[in-house]
Amino acid sequence: MTFTRHALTLLLATSALALSAASEEKPLPKDLPPYGADRPIPPLNIIQRTLPNGLTVWIVNRPGFPKIASYLAVRGGNAYDPADRQGLTGLMAGLLNEGTATRTSKQIAEELQAIGGELNAFASPDAVFVHGACLGNGLPTLINLLADVTRHPSFPEQEVELAKANTLQGLLAQEAQPAFKANRAFQAALFGPHPYRFASITPDVVKAATPQALRALHASRFQPKQALLVISGDVQEAATLKVITAAFGDWNATGEAPKPLAEAPASSAHQFLLIPRPGSVQSTLRVGRPAVSATHPDYIPMQLANVILGGSFGSRIVKNIREDKGYTYSPGARAAGLQAGGSYMVRADVRTDVTAASLMEIFYEMDRMGTTTVGEAELQSAKRYMGGTYLFQNQMLRALTGTLATYWVNGQKPEALSEFIPKVNAVKAEEVRRIGRTYFAAKDQTIVVVGDEGKAKAELEQFGPVQVQKN
């Protein structure tokens, strides 16, 4: 058993943007008071253990709030499924709660309710996550239930049939959502045959699922050597470890480790894809391309560049197409990093008659990131914003616990938590420009539009050939 203890400190940018130094922008009101001095952030202690069976355990003691959060992560998500069964992992995850060797789904739900608790399992491309929460005094019950659904799910015939029927009906319902259609087409266009193309299970895979197949999949993936358990909250290390050891210590499932995924594509075709949606009053836009993994050196600079380009309320795209032009309500952008690759995506829903005009502005802003250097005030502000939002998110137990679980899946240590902000602060303006040039150039982006075929097609044809995809 290994034992290490780290004091993790979240740090903000050392000094706030000097309010009067924003030379490239209008001066600020003369009476506006300056920011105060930053206060130190108390260190976060994370205890790291490995049980003899190989289960990794991280415990975060954060007193002061009467609830506990947990995340169990198991390597191997939807991207690890064979091409003809992709999404089976997600279906399996959703059924963990629906019955075990000794409990019915109703018993599980009622035991959780009695501790003010919840347990939700889901699959990402890279892993299965089981999130739990409960009142502070429910920890032993939560851990026992978590161990039961993790180790002994039974995939009862009737529950599997119900989950299949509801998934099929749910898929039909989803087809009405423009975002669902847009994301599916976007993922497929970016990743081609790579399993990161996965956006949703298909009806055929649902129909073919059986309790036997789900049990076999569970048995092949769920092994202590491939799993992490994180517990956060007002918990005592020794007592918590005792409960965990009692519940998981004799978990001896073994098997092969999931085979690492091939590297995802690094680029995609510059093309305009139109997915017709009769009756749409808006065009749902996706502009993006494959990018980098969560551990790639460009990942953090790209997150920072994204804050400047489209990932925050004060970003260039939001200012341009919302606050200046009024084309859209909810434009946004994100850089998503997974284990074996990632993607960048700008999104907006715009009224149909400004489809081309909106894309023109998005292209302009994307190109500008690579053709000019961001000013110091805008850069500092973006760094500050990233630090603040990171602190904001991780003050919530669930988010903190989930952040740590995701780090583990990506092969990172909990220290990544304290390294994040210093890495953001070290990014130079030139590096942001290089990110812009390398990843944001309009000529390298794939464009997906879901909308009214007649009107949106004419809008898009101003840029060149449009491929209409009925999906």
Partner 1 sequence: MRLRSLTAFTLGAALVAGPAAPAQRPSWRLPIEVKTLPNGLTIVVSEDHSLPTVGVSVVYRVGMRLEPKGRTGFAHLFEHMMFQGTPVAPKGVFDRVIQGGGGLNNGSTRYDFTNYIESAPVSALEPILWLEADRLKALDFSPQNLKNQQEVVKEEIRVNVKNQPYGTFWLDLPAAAYSRWENNHDGYGSFEDLDHADLKDVQTFHSTYYAPSNAVLGIAGDVKPAEVFALVEKYFGGIPGKPKPALPDLKEPLNTTEFRQVKTDALARVPAVAVGWKMPARGSRDHAPAAVLSELLIGGDASRIYLGLVKGKELLLNASGGLNFPLGGAWDYDGQTLFSLFSLYKPNADADKVLAAIDEIIAAVASQGITPAELERTKTKMLADFYSDLEIPLSRADALAKAQALWGSAAQLNEIPKLIEGVTVEDLKRVAATYLTRPNRTVIDYHTAAAKP
* Contacts (CB under 8 A) with partner 1, residues 423-462: none
Span near partner 1 by CB under 8 A; candidates 17-25, 79-87, 146-154, 266-274 = 17-25
Contacts with partner 1 in 329-388 (CB under 8 A)? 329-330, 332, 349-351, 377, 380-382, 384-385, 387-388
Q: Interface with partner 1 includes 306 (CB under 8 A)?
A: no
Per-residue string for binding with partner 1, 275-294, x by CB under 8 A?
Answer: ----xxxx-x----------
Contacts with partner 1 in 93-132 (CB under 8 A)? 97, 105-106, 109-110, 112-118
Q: Interface with partner 1 includes 173 (CB under 8 A)?
A: yes
Q: Interface with partner 1 includes 7 (CB under 8 A)?
A: no
Q: Tell me which residue of 460, 216, 186, 122 sits closest to 334, measured CA to CA.
A: 186
CB contact at 8 A, 362 and 317:
yes
Q: Interface with partner 1 includes 81 (CB under 8 A)?
A: no
Span near partner 1 by CB under 8 A; candidates 62-70, 201-209, 214-222, 401-409 = 62-70
The single residue among 40, 193, 464, 465 that binds partner 1, judged by CB under 8 A, is 40
What letter represents residue 326's amino acid? G
Site size toward partner 1 (CB under 8 A) is: 92
Nearer Cβ to partner 1 (16/360): 16
Q: Tell me which residue of 274, 287, 433 sits closest to 360, measured CA to CA.
A: 287
What letter represents residue 173's amino acid? A
**Angstrom distances, CA of residue 403 to CA of 103, 251, 346:** 30, 25, 23
Nearer Cβ to partner 1 (27/260): 27
All residues at 6 or more sequence positions from 109 whose CB lies less than 8 Å from its CB, including other chains: 97
Q: Tell me which residue of 259, 282, 274 sits closest to 340, measured CA to CA.
A: 259
Q: Interface with partner 1 includes 177 (CB under 8 A)?
A: yes
Q: Interface with partner 1 includes 222 (CB under 8 A)?
A: no
- State both tokens at 433: 């420009």
Q: How far apart are CB 207 and partner 1 at their closest, in Å? A: 15
Q: Interface with partner 1 includes 74 (CB under 8 A)?
A: no
What distance in Å separates the CA atoms of residue 299 and residue 287, rounded to the nearest whole number? 18
What distance in Å separates the CA atoms of residue 46 and residue 240, rounded to the nearest whole number? 13
Nearer Cβ to partner 1 (282/339): 282
Q: Interface with partner 1 includes 67 (CB under 8 A)?
A: yes
Q: How far apart are CB 376 and partner 1 at their closest, in Å? A: 12
Burial call 108-124: b when 16+ CB within 10 Å, e when fewer: bbebbeebebbbebbbb
Q: How far apart are CB 176 and partner 1 at their closest, in Å? A: 4
The single residue among 5, 26, 259, 443 that binds partner 1, judged by CB under 8 A, is 26
Nearer Cβ to partner 1 (28/216): 28
Q: Interface with partner 1 includes 23 (CB under 8 A)?
A: no
